[in-house]
Amino acid sequence: MQTVLNLTLEALSSTELASACAKLRVNSYSLRSNLAPPVKSRIADENNAKQSHASPRVCHQFSFMPLPAPSSPRVHRHTRNIRAEAYQREDGYWDIDAHITDAKTRVVELATSTLQPNQPIHDLWLRITVDLQLNIHAADAVSDAVPYAGYCDTIGPAYKKLVGLNLLKGFRQGVKERLGGIAGCTHLTELASMLPTAVIQAFAGDVIPTGDTEALQAGEQQPFQLNRCHALRTDGLAVAKFYPRWIAKVQA
């Protein structure tokens, strides 16, 4: 599949490629990571020819992103990636492995070292183990890349303080109290703050009923996701269409 994709893309002009990506709503990271080098190079060359004053990384008339086209030529300078993966364990618990990286497209002169373009400034991991009630039973943090080696990377054990917290009951406040400021790492603590929604997404359909039938079988409780965002408000059109049983009665 990847070979076919690359051959097809090589035959397209930048304009045609942009149109194809827009129609497919392709995720920019996954597509860029799977493009053959000749395709990446040609895109950069064509953008350069159109905008000779700009860097090869300028993204102006051509963009993989489904967002509106940028209103000004721009240069990619920094990337922060955040990823969370959920694993169901044989003992009944779930592991959530969260990962955050920061990297710049230029040489970075740190107080402790010099980093090459795209070499991570931060490369941090956080794992929690939770039960089906979203209580945290274990937590570990490690730092593979930090700006102050020997200092930043000593904070990992502090994140065991997450044990005992519940992801849906005052979790973020508990994180702030236990690991905020000088008690933790800014980026690991920020990574921890996204864990509740990540775990809810992991549990949806596996642990937490999300369908109308499943909700009824669970004891006449409405699906978990209702009234938790603007789209699924129980007096809204989406609930009326997809979950009519739970539409709120409008008071006269």
Q: Using one digit for the tens of pLDDT, what is the confidence trace for 137-190?
A: 999 999 999 999 999 999 999 999 999 999 999 999 999 999 999 999 999 999
User: Are 130 and 182 part of one and the same domain?
Assistant: yes
Per cent of the chain over pLDDT 90 is: 57
* Pairwise CA distance, residues 251 & 210, whole Å: 27
Q: Is residue 92 part of a domain?
A: yes
User: Are 28 and 72 part of one and the same domain?
Assistant: yes
User: Are 46 and 158 part of one and the same domain?
Assistant: no
User: Are 30 and 83 part of one and the same domain?
Assistant: no
Q: What is the mean pLDDT of the chain?
A: 80
Q: Which helix (H) or strand (E) holds 3?
A: helix 2-10
pTM confidence score: 0.70
Q: What is the mean pLDDT of residues 177-205?
A: 96
Phi, psi (rounded to 5 degrees) for 101: -135, 150
Q: Over the stretch 47-78, which tens digit does the pLDDT of each residue have? A: 444 443 433 334 444 446 688 888 999 999 99
pLDDT band at 210 (very low <50, low <70, confident <90, very high): confident
Phi, psi (rounded to 5 degrees) for 223: -50, 140
Q: Is residue 86 part of a domain?
A: yes
Q: Is residue 251 part of a domain?
A: no
What residue numbers bound the domain in which 221 lies? 212-246
User: Are 171 and 136 part of one and the same domain?
Assistant: yes
Residue 241, SS3 per DSSP: helix
User: Are 142 and 220 part of one and the same domain?
Assistant: no
Does the pLDDT value for residue 193 go beyond 80?
A: yes
**DSSP output for 160-225:** GGGTT-BTTBSHHHHHHHHHSGGGS-HHHHHHHHTHHHHHHHHHBTTTB--SHHHHHHTTSPPPTT
| Residues 6+ positions from 151 with CB-CB distance below 8 Å | none
Confidence (pLDDT) at 32: 42
Q: Domain count of the chain?
A: 3
Q: Note whether 127 and 96 are within 8 A (CB).
A: yes
User: Are 49 and 5 part of one and the same domain?
Assistant: yes
Q: Is residue 252 part of a domain?
A: no
Q: Over the stretch 6-41, which tens digit does the pLDDT of each residue have? A: 444 445 554 555 555 444 444 443 444 444 444 444
Confidence (pLDDT) at 99: 98
Confidence (pLDDT) at 220: 56
